[in-house]
Amino acid sequence: MTVAGTESGRTLFDKVFDAHVIVKREDGQCLLWIDRHFLHEGSFHAFNKLKERDAEVARPDLTFGIEDHYVPTRTRDLSVIDPAIRGMIEQLRGNSQRHGLRLFDLDDPGQGIVHVVGPEQGLTLPGLTMVCGDSHTATHGAFGAIAFGIGASEVAHVLMTQTLWQKKPKRMRITVEGALAPGVSAKDIALSIIARIGADGAAGHAIEYAGSAIRSLSMEGRLTLCNLSIEAGGRCGMVAPDQTTVDYLRGRPFAPEGTLFDKGAADWLALQSDADAVFDREMHLDAADIAPSVTWGITPEDASPITAKVPDPENFEDPARAQQVRDALEYMDIRPGQCLSDIRIDRVFIGSCTNSRIEDLRAAASILKGRKASVPGLVSPGSMQVKRQAEAEGLDRIFLDAGLEWVDAGCSMCVGMNGDLVPPGERCASTTNRNFRGRQGPGSRTHLMSPAMVAAAAVTGHLTDMRELMQAPVAGGNIG
């Protein structure tokens, strides 16, 4: 038997990881070089550690600050917002200035959510190691980078040394073959995977997504998929670079240009798992088996196709899982056996680093066009650049005409740190990535789904199979 990544060929992950090892200890710990480090307002704990040691940032040129977690979305005027929130933003500004870091602040035309901005600006490239004090850093793996979230102690370590101690995780490949049915998106692939393997199913593993269904995804779709790797417990998620990746990067502000770009592109396209590479774990999925999905519980593993019914805790053999489902249904206030499509909602949210890119907004708008939302809701594009593009395409009019709010870019209602909250007891259909108890505000209830599914729920006021609205023609509407 061969051991993964040794005698046999190497995986994509091995190739990128090995190229960054500075020191390898006997116990397996590797000192890794880090190519990109993103910071946000929550980074103040790490900067405080630097201050304690009177230390400097080792590589300001590879370190980027982005205002996203706490930023207001209905105004860009800091003088009118909660002073505690303003304080968080000002701390990041102070620390960025003090250490000479490039900061995407509220006035920057490139501002947005870190995991939307990185790719959009060409800061994210294949073959890089990338870290940020945010677990959804896995998103950037869509380009074939090793990208993962770190805690404040590690943020401080990277700031001071541009390196991180890591042990190579195990490698897992998830292969999705076949064509996705119309209306089925990357979000549905991800929720289906997590429902099958569990919220800790990929713990200790770096995931590579492969197969024809993955290849056919746009960069936006791959970003959504890799974003949710952490919700399966994965250390990171990756898709091997291909022509789609290279085409996306050409001409981005921070990406190389000219001959440097060509050299890069040649290196990037070589980043593939060898045909004889052995993975510690393999999982196969047939694209035809994936349906538009929603969550009904309080972890992303509590997901089912929209056509299904709410599960009954009595039907689970594992007592711990049965208890978990019981707790989830109690918190969510839904009944076992109830049709998922009968669950009424109070509001919708379209945004977050999972689903706030231009394609996501187009998908939601295609359902909302010519229709009215029957519940209130918020649409927050992932970056100001996405916002401008959506406005150029007239998508903002579709959202506003449907009765939804069209606001500025930020993490917003994904985590509610900026005050965009779901009120206690309310139920929100959301394009975000976490349906944890109280994630969108104390007592809030979250159902995760794709942007088109959220749009469909907004129209009907209950969880809805978007395919029904996709097929139904609307007077004067053009549902794609």
Interacting residue ranges for ligand SF4, rule: CB under 6 A: 68-69, 113-115, 134, 136, 352-353, 411, 414-415, 433
Which range of residues in 9-17, 279-287, 333-341, 416-424 is near other proteins by CB under 8 A?
A: 416-424
Considering the complex, state which of residue 156 and residue 303 has its C-beta at the smaller distance from other proteins: 156
Q: Does 204 bind other proteins (CB under 8 A)?
A: yes
Q: Which does 352 bind (CB under 5 to 8 A by kind): other proteins, ligand SF4, none?
A: ligand SF4
Q: Residue from 152, 181, 308, 474 that binds other proteins (CB under 8 A)?
A: 152
Q: Which does 165 bind (CB under 5 to 8 A by kind): ligand SF4, other proteins, none?
A: other proteins
Q: Is 411 annotated as a binding residue?
A: yes
Q: Residue from 254, 403, 461, 479 that binds other proteins (CB under 8 A)?
A: 254
Considering the complex, state which of residue 100 and residue 394 has its C-beta at the smaller distance from other proteins: 100
Considering the complex, state which of residue 35 and residue 188 has its C-beta at the smaller distance from other proteins: 35
Whether residue 385 contacts residue 110, with contact meaning beta carbons closer than 8 Å, is answered with yes
Task: Point out which residues pair with 455 in neighbouring strands.
Answer: none
Q: Which does 27 bind (CB under 5 to 8 A by kind): ligand SF4, other proteins, none?
A: other proteins
Q: How long is the chain?
A: 480
| Least distance in angstroms from the C-beta of 14 to other proteins | 17
Whether residue 146 contacts residue 129, with contact meaning beta carbons closer than 8 Å, is answered with yes
Residue matched to tokens 């569990």: 198
Which residues fall within 8 angstroms of residue 160, CB to CB, at 6 or more apart? 50, 53, 55, 56, 57, 58
| Least distance in angstroms from the C-beta of 258 to other proteins | 10
Considering the complex, state which of residue 27 and residue 77 has its C-beta at the smaller distance from other proteins: 27
Which range of residues in 220-228, 279-287, 385-393, 414-422 is near other proteins by CB under 8 A?
A: 414-422
**Percent helix, strand, coil in the chain (nearest 5)?**
40, 20, 40
Q: How far apart are CA 419 and CA 378, in angstroms?
A: 13
Which of the residues 429 through 448 are near other proteins (CB under 8 A)? 434, 436-439, 442-443
Distances (CA, A) of 419 to 42, 122, 396: 15, 30, 22
Q: Residue from 253, 337, 376, 394 that binds other proteins (CB under 8 A)?
A: 253
Q: Does 128 bind other proteins (CB under 8 A)?
A: yes
Q: Residue from 2, 29, 75, 338 that binds other proteins (CB under 8 A)?
A: 29
| Least distance in angstroms from the C-beta of 113 to ligand SF4 | 5
- For residue 398, which phi and psi values (nearest 5 degrees)? -60, -45
Whether residue 361 contacts residue 334, with contact meaning beta carbons closer than 8 Å, is answered with no
Query: Which residue type is seen at 429?
Result: A
DSSP notation for 108-144: -TT-B-HHHHHHHHT---TT-EEEESSGGGGGGGGGT
Which range of residues in 248-256, 371-379, 380-388, 471-479 is near other proteins by CB under 8 A?
A: 248-256
Considering the complex, state which of residue 135 and residue 161 has its C-beta at the smaller distance from ligand SF4: 135
Considering the complex, state which of residue 153 and residue 471 has its C-beta at the smaller distance from other proteins: 153
DSSP notation for 405-438: EE---SSGGGT-TTS--PPTT-EEEESSS---TT
Cα–Cα nearest to 329, from 296, 361, 287:
296
Q: Which does 4 bind (CB under 5 to 8 A by kind): ligand SF4, other proteins, none?
A: none
Q: Does 22 bind other proteins (CB under 8 A)?
A: yes
| Least distance in angstroms from the C-beta of 200 to other proteins | 4
Q: Is 353 annotated as a binding residue?
A: yes
Q: Is 339 annotated as a binding residue?
A: no
Label residues 39-65 b or e (16+ Cβ within 10 Å = b). bbbbbbebbebbeeeeeebebeebbbb
Q: Which does 113 bind (CB under 5 to 8 A by kind): ligand SF4, other proteins, none?
A: ligand SF4
Q: Does 113 bind other proteins (CB under 8 A)?
A: no
Considering the complex, state which of residue 213 and residue 454 has its C-beta at the smaller distance from ligand SF4: 454
Which range of residues in 154-162, 183-191, 284-292, 392-400 is near other proteins by CB under 8 A?
A: 154-162
Which range of residues in 178-186, 332-340, 411-419, 447-455 is near other proteins by CB under 8 A?
A: 411-419
Q: How far apart are CA 316 and CA 287, in angstroms?
A: 26
| Least distance in angstroms from the C-beta of 215 to ligand SF4 | 25
Residue 65 Cα to chain centre, angstroms: 18
The residue count for binding other proteins (CB under 8 A) is 81
CA angle, 189 then 195 then 198, to 5°: 120
Residue matched to tokens 């990338």: 130
CA angle, 392 then 396 then 402, to 5°: 150
Considering the complex, state which of residue 65 and residue 264 has its C-beta at the smaller distance from other proteins: 264
Q: CB 381: neighbour CB atoms within 10 A?
A: 32
Whether residue 199 contacts residue 113, with contact meaning beta carbons closer than 8 Å, is answered with no
Which of the residues 318 through 347 are near other proteins (CB under 8 A)? 320-321, 323-324, 327
Query: Which residue type is seen at 227?
Result: N
Binding site residue list:
353, 411, 414
Binding site residue list for [4Fe-4S] cluster:
353, 411, 414
